[in-house]
Every structure is written in C-alpha cells, then in structure tokens.
Chains A and B, each alone.
Chain A
Amino acid sequence: MADCDDDEMFLDSGFDGPVLPWDRFRRWVTCFCVVTFDIELGQALELVYPAHIELTDREKTNICYLAFPDSNSGCMGDTQFHFRIRCSPRSCQKSHLVKRYEDEVPLAYRSDPAHFYGFAYFRQVKDPSIQRGYFQKSVVLISRLPYVNLFTEAVQLIAPSYFENGELSLETVCHDIDQWPYPEAGHTLQLPLMGNVMQVRVPSRGDKPGAVSSPDHPLVAHIVPQMPSPKVIPTLRDPDIFRCLQSVLPHIHLLWELALTNEPIVVMAPSPTICSETVQALASLISPLHYCSDYRPFFTIHDTEFKEYTTRTQAPPGVILGVTNPFFAKTLQHWPHMVRIGEMSNLGIYTKYKQLLAKDKLIFRRLSKGNHPKRPPEVQNAILRRHMLELTQSFMIPLERYVASLMPLQRSISPWKRPPRLKPFDADEFLTTLEHSGPQLTSRLKGNWVALYRKFFKSANFEGWLRHRKQEIRQKLELLHLEALGKADVSFWIQDKQEVEMVDLFLQIKEKMACSESFYPPISFEVKQQLKGHLLSIIRTLPEDLQFVLKNS
C-alpha cells in the first residue's frame, strides 16, 4: 500500500475539498490481487490493481497462500471465502479525517488499521491448454473494512468478469468504486458496480441495537428513493448465524460463552467457505459487544503467524482460527475447544468447558416451531440474533451501569480546576451490585453469572470494552468542563490575577479547544463561541507586546 501516510494525506483533501481520483476508492478498498498457480513457483501474485499500491513481501506471501483452498479438497468450479491478515506495522494512524468520519460508526464497522480483510474468489476448472490441465486462479479484494457481506457480493460480480475480460474489468471496477460515496454513519448508499447497483446502510452509534436497518438520513443529493431494482444488502457484515451454526445450534449458548470470554477456538470445516463463515458467525455472536481479539476466518499452515499460534510452549492464544487442513487436527490437539462443522465426520464441539449458564430452551422451541410450516430462513436468523443480542445486553447492562457510576458528580466540575478523574474499575465492588441490579433483571437464564463475569474480566473483550468506555467518559468529562468554562465569568476571574495566570488560562483554553476537535459528539457551536469570547477578553487585558505574541502562538 502506498504507505498510509500519503494514503491518508490525500484523504484529508476529500472531506471538504475536491475529491481527487482514488480518494473514494481507498476509503472502501485497498486493492485487488490476482493469484495464480504457477507450475514452477506455486502460488504466485500475478497482478495487483491499482498498480501503485505496494504490499510488503509478508503481506504478499500471506495473500498468495490464503487465496487458495488449503488442502486441495477438490474445490472444483468456483469457491468463495474470506480471510483476515495482519498488515505490516507502518505508520498507520488513522488520519484526523477518517476518525471524524468513523466516530459515529459503531466500533465493529470501522476500518481496521492493523488488519487486511481478503475476499477471495477462486476458480478451478479443467483446461487442457494449460500444462497442468487445470485453470486455477483467484481474484482477491483487499480492504481494511470488515464488510463481509458487501464485499462477498462484490467479488461475486467482479471475479467472473475478470476471468472473462482480464485486467480491463479491474480498471472498470476500480473506477466504479471510486464513484462510491464515503461510508458515512447512518447513510443509505447506492453503490454502482458493473451494471449493478448494491444498496447498503452504514450503521450509526445512534441506532438502537438490533433495530431493523432502515434509512434514517435523507439520501445523498443525487441518490433517489430506493426501489426494488438495487440489490439490497441488509447488513454490511453480520453473518446469518442461524444458517452458519445450525448444525451446532443446541450448543449456541456454550459458543456464546466461549466467544464472550475469548477462549481459543479452532473451527475445522471441509471447505474455506464454511470455515470462514463459521468463524465470522462465532465472532459476531456477542454483538453488539465488539469481539476484540484476533480471529482468522481462514488460516493455513503457510500463514506467517502459524508458529506463533500453534506453539506448544505457551497456552493457546485467545483467538478463533478457521482451518480446513486435517493436519491441524494434530497441530492444534492441545487447543481446548474445537468446532467441527460442515459435511465431515465427527461433527460437533469438542471441549471440556463447563457451561456457566443454563441453556435457554425457549429459543430452541421457538426456532423449531419455525420448521412447520417453513419459516423463511432470514426470519429464523432474526429471531436467533435477537435472542443472542438480548443475552449479551443482559450481561453488559450491569457493567454499563456500574461504569457510568464511576463518573464523578457533575457538581464536582469546576471551570478553574482540572476535570475530575474517573474512579477506577473495581471488580469486587461491581460484583456486589449484581445482587440487586444483576442480569437477572433482564434475563431468565439461571447459572453462575458471577463466575462468567470473573472470566470475562480476564478477556481481551473486557479490556477493549473498558478502554473504549473510559475514553468516552473522559471525553464527556472534558466536554462538561469546557461547557462549565464557557459559562464561567472569565473577565471577573481575571480581575485579581497575575499576568502569568491569565496567559496560562489563555493557553489552556486554546489547547482544550484544539483537543476537542476530535470529540464525538462534537462540542456545540455555542460553547465554542463562548470560549472564543473568553480568549478575546483575556487578550484585551494584556499588554500589547504579549497580545502580539499570543495571537501568533
């Protein structure tokens, strides 16, 4: 990738300024890779489009191996799947602009600075004109956005056309994508692609979790009301958990606990398609909570993290790996939880884990009622999703409530003092709140909730969630402090102050204002005006030479 620096630099011009070629493209897609099987070289990267994108050797190697099914399990015809790889550490801080765009987007829908998602379309057909007798090629879409449903759909349109028309198709596709509007929170977008129009909605943090996605913002100017003609992709990334996990449905609550607490899980499936879908489904079981650990929808023995993840010298990492190569059955023998899924022998979940909560039998009864008469699969999925969502919410609400209580009282905020600090998270203190306001208020599930919380506290999901919440609260405190400062009578306060104190206040206000630029929600126009007024009234009371220095600071 043409290093993120200049990559993102270009983006800055995109927000208010003119949109340059590739600006919009790179908000959605990094590049396309075409991987072929060369009889001499094995998997070889035939083409990267656009050509100016630079990938590191490590990234290229990973993409090459992951673009093909691992064990040649007779994937004749076309096979689609996706994978996730680490990208090389490069100065990949998201730019101010991308942050501003993504502030309103839920965590799980933001671009991932540390990973690439690859959406592969592999074709294997007999071709006597080729030395090996087989045509084996893969088109891979690489993006930092985890929009599995959208990109799976897109690659399905793009790859067959590439196999037929060659590079020209990719040129056209990139041009189409460069016309897509930016993925802005809460917007319904129509995305043209090779004679088709796909319609998606980018969720917003303002959405009610689990609400049916429907446009709530007016559509972008040149886009008109949706009609049946565009292909509507209901969610950018949520997999159909009912379909993906149907064969292990009776254990769905067990899987939820494992995913929630970041237990190491290996998914073994006969094909990369099933394997990547299942891993995605597992990681999304705890939605709206963000799965914070690593997960690899498709993982092979060639992966550069193979050693790191399979070593026996350490405890297995808390990640989810999706594999198809039977070799892993041995390599990952020491892993505590294995899900065998798809048409293979010994189906099921292999684990010694003791479920902490009881199963909710009601949901199974509701789902099985749907079989006669046949209920549409999307309805079954929606029912199951809602159930899992409610379970996660029952688990999280007490934590949310407790964390909110760590916020200092509003009256302790003084314009003349630093904003007060957040009280530290105390696990034991939290557990004592469970008795009167625990998950039993919203969930009928019985079991050892306390043990589940204790397990959760050790997980990456908890750490990620808490870090995110703390950051939000800190920002909220800063915001309240700025509001208090805005309302304060600054001219009165500076009357009896030394020059140095006034200068200090001036600089402080300036710094805070600069800092608040990245706040979500942003500070109000009113507060901004008040603060600007303060800056003016301070500066007026200072001697002229100082005024000059401060104005130019």
Chain B
Amino acid sequence: MHRAYQTPGGSIRDIKLCLLGDAGVGKSCLVHRFVSDAFNASSPPTIGAAFMTKMMLVGDQAFKFNIWDTAGQERFKSLAPLYYRDAAAAILVYDITSDSSFHALKTWIKELTRYGPPDILIAIAGNKCDKADQREVQEEEAEEFASSVEAVFVETSARTNKNVHWLFEELSRRLPQEQAESLTGNRTLVRPKQAEEHPKRSCCSEK
C-alpha cells in the first residue's frame, strides 16, 4: 500500500524541479534546507546532480517535488539539459555577494528558453542573504531582472532558513493546473475512497 498522504483534494501532484546556477552559490544547501531542514556550511561540491524528493502541502493540494540539484562546476554544464529537459520548474540560484554569479543567470535563462520545455516556470533565488554586509547584487536590480524574464524572485538564506519554504510554495502556487499535468505526462492519482466521498470539481482527477 502507498503511504497515505491525506489531502482534502485527494490528489498528489508530481513536480520535477531542477536547480541551476554557478558553483558555490548554495544550490545544494537550499535543497537540504528545504528537504531535511538542515544546513551544512561546508558541503562538498555536487557531482553531476543529486536527486531528492519532498512532499509539501499548499492549501489543500499535496505536491511531491522531485528535485534535481545540478552541479555548478563548469565541466558539468554540458549535462544540464538532461536534468531540465522535462522539468516543470527551475530555480536559478545566485549568490548576493557575487556579482558574477548574478550575471551568469542571463546565460542560464537563454539556455532554458532554447533547450528547456516551453512553459517551464522559473524562479530566481538570491541566496546567502544573511551576508548582507558583503552584498554585491542589489535586491532591486535582481527583482527587475526577474520580472523582465517573468520569474518568481526572492532572496533566500539556506543558513537562516529565510524564504526557503516560501520559494517552493510560491512555485507550486504559480504552477498552472493543466501544466502540472501535461508536464508530468500523466494524470494525477486520486485515492479511490476519497474520490467517492467528495466528487472532485477539477478536471485533474481520475475516475
């Protein structure tokens, strides 16, 4: 039997998400904070990509994030398309204390629009915002850039846990219903019993 995640809506939505950005901006730390609520300042660089999953309830909808945390090192860059190819969402991460990591986002956006799925939802996270005294990237500048590419924007800190959950919640809220379905390629699953009890209004339920 599946472990029952009882949600009033009765369905779980699968979201493939990938993290992209320069080496050392804190992609893995963000994921770790989100998935296991832990922080390790000296985590080793990721090889290729790491995979993790996390369930989250937003309103009455359950989401299962399949997270691919890609390596930031230049040498792994050629593999990135494997991970964002059919992703529903991407989080582009930069480090607010590194101007160059912010400028690298432009290349990532270009790549995503060229090779990524057409409707991929993009979020931009300015990480390490606990280090405001070393700031090189102004929040307004980043926000402006984000809105120019229609991306969700927030400054985060994996160290202090600032805005980490908000980021994922916001992503799931922005994910159009039909998109979630078409991108995961299949229908969502309804627990049969609940489906009988509450006839669903939306079109995403089975049976």
Which of B5, B35, B64, B79 meets A168, CB within 8 Å? B79
Which of A161, A216, A227 meets B64, CB within 8 Å? A227
Chain A 156-192 interface 0/1 with B at a Cβ cutoff of 8 Å (1 = within):
0000010011001101110110010000000000101
B49 near A176: Cβ-Cβ < 8 Å:
yes
Total number of A residues with any Cβ neighbor in B under 8 Å: 28
Tell whether B185 is near chain A: CB-to-CB under 8 Å. Answer: yes
Tell whether A194 is near chain B: CB-to-CB under 8 Å. Answer: yes
What's the Cα separation between A190 and B35 when bound, in Å? 17
Using Cβ atoms and an 8 Å threshold, which residues of chain B touch A224?
3, 5, 12, 53-55, 64
Tell me, rounded to whole Å, the shortest Cβ–Cβ distance linking A428 to chain B.
Answer: 48
Tell whether A223 is near chain B: CB-to-CB under 8 Å. Answer: yes
Using Cβ atoms and an 8 Å threshold, which residues of chain A touch B2?
215, 219, 225-226
Which of B3, B76, B82 meets A225, CB within 8 Å? B3
Tell whether B187 is near chain A: CB-to-CB under 8 Å. Answer: yes
Tell whether B52 is near chain A: CB-to-CB under 8 Å. Answer: yes
Using Cβ atoms and an 8 Å threshold, which residues of chain B touch A173?
48
Given known pairs A223-B53, A228-B14, A228-B184, the reply for A172 and B79 (CB within 8 Å) is: yes
B53 near A229: Cβ-Cβ < 8 Å:
no
Which of A195, A197, A226 meets B85, CB within 8 Å? A195
Tell me, rounded to whole Å, the shortest Cβ–Cβ distance linking B28 to chain A.
Answer: 13
Tell whether A218 is near chain B: CB-to-CB under 8 Å. Answer: yes
What's the Cα separation between A508 and B49 when bound, in Å? 53
Total number of B residues with any Cβ neighbor in A under 8 Å: 36
A168 near B85: Cβ-Cβ < 8 Å:
no
User: Which of B5, B35, B66, B185 has the most C-beta atoms of chain A within 10 angstroms of its own C-beta?
Assistant: B66
Closest to B5 in A: A225
Tell whether A222 is near chain B: CB-to-CB under 8 Å. Answer: yes
A161 near B79: Cβ-Cβ < 8 Å:
yes
What's the Cα separation between A192 and B48 when bound, in Å? 12
Using Cβ atoms and an 8 Å threshold, which residues of chain B touch A195?
18, 49, 68, 82-86
Tell whether B163 is near chain A: CB-to-CB under 8 Å. Answer: no
Closest to A193 in B: B51
Using Cβ atoms and an 8 Å threshold, which residues of chain B touch A192?
51, 68
Closest to A157 in B: B82
A225 near B64: Cβ-Cβ < 8 Å:
yes
B83 near A218: Cβ-Cβ < 8 Å:
no
Using Cβ atoms and an 8 Å threshold, which residues of chain B touch A172?
47-49, 76, 79
A222 near B52: Cβ-Cβ < 8 Å:
yes
User: Which of B12, B35, B49, B54 has the most C-beta atoms of chain A within 10 angstroms of its own C-beta?
Assistant: B49
Using Cβ atoms and an 8 Å threshold, which residues of chain A touch B55?
224
What's the Cα separation between A161 and B83 when bound, in Å? 12
Using Cβ atoms and an 8 Å threshold, which residues of chain B touch A226?
2
Using Cβ atoms and an 8 Å threshold, which residues of chain B touch A164?
78
B53 near A222: Cβ-Cβ < 8 Å:
yes
Closest to A218 in B: B3
What's the Cα separation between A227 and B48 when bound, in Å? 25
A168 near B78: Cβ-Cβ < 8 Å:
yes
Identify which of residues 167-202 in chain B touch chain A, using a CB-to-CB cut-off of 8 Å: 184-189
Tell me, rounded to whole Å, the shortest Cβ–Cβ distance linking B120 to chain A.
Answer: 13
User: Which of B35, B76, B78, B79 has the most C-beta atoms of chain A within 10 angstroms of its own C-beta?
Assistant: B79
A168 near B3: Cβ-Cβ < 8 Å:
no
Tell whether B203 is near chain A: CB-to-CB under 8 Å. Answer: no
B51 near A197: Cβ-Cβ < 8 Å:
yes
User: Which of A161, A194, A224 has the most C-beta atoms of chain B within 10 angstroms of its own C-beta?
Assistant: A224
Closest to A166 in B: B78
Closest to B181 in A: A228
A197 near B79: Cβ-Cβ < 8 Å:
no
What's the Cα separation between A172 and B48 when bound, in Å? 4
Given known pairs A179-B50, A215-B2, the reply for A227 and B188 (CB within 8 Å) is: yes
Using Cβ atoms and an 8 Å threshold, which residues of chain B touch A175?
47-48
Tell me, rounded to whole Å, the shortest Cβ–Cβ distance linking B71 to chain A.
Answer: 8
A227 near B184: Cβ-Cβ < 8 Å:
yes
Given known pairs A161-B79, A227-B12, the reply for A171 and B48 (CB within 8 Å) is: yes
B82 near A161: Cβ-Cβ < 8 Å:
yes
B14 near A229: Cβ-Cβ < 8 Å:
yes
A227 near B14: Cβ-Cβ < 8 Å:
yes
Closest to A178 in B: B47
A215 near B1: Cβ-Cβ < 8 Å:
yes
B51 near A179: Cβ-Cβ < 8 Å:
yes
Closest to A223 in B: B53
Tell whether B207 is near chain A: CB-to-CB under 8 Å. Answer: no
Using Cβ atoms and an 8 Å threshold, which residues of chain B touch A219?
2-3
What's the Cα separation between A223 and B66 when bound, in Å? 10
Tell me, rounded to whole Å, the shortest Cβ–Cβ distance linking B4 to chain A.
Answer: 8
What's the Cα separation between A185 and B187 when bound, in Å? 29
What's the Cα separation between A227 and B51 when bound, in Å? 16
A197 near B3: Cβ-Cβ < 8 Å:
no
Tell whether B75 is near chain A: CB-to-CB under 8 Å. Answer: yes
Complex A-B: 25 CB contacts under 8 Å: A164-B78, A165-B78, A168-B48, A168-B78, A171-B47, A172-B47, A179-B50, A194-B82, A195-B68, A195-B82, A197-B51, A215-B1, A216-B1, A218-B3, A222-B35, A224-B3, A224-B64, A225-B2, A225-B64, A226-B2, A227-B184, A227-B186, A228-B14, A228-B186, A229-B185
Given contacts A164-B78, A194-B79, A227-B186, 8 further A-B contacts (CB under 8 A): A175-B47, A219-B3, A225-B2, A227-B184, A227-B188, A228-B14, A228-B186, A229-B66
Residue ranges of B at the interface with A (Cβ–Cβ < 8 Å)? 1-3, 5, 12, 14, 16, 18, 35, 47-55, 64, 66, 68, 75-76, 78-79, 82-86, 184-189
Pick the 7 closest A-B CB pairs, nearest first.
A172-B48, A228-B186, A192-B51, A225-B2, A229-B14, A227-B14, A195-B83
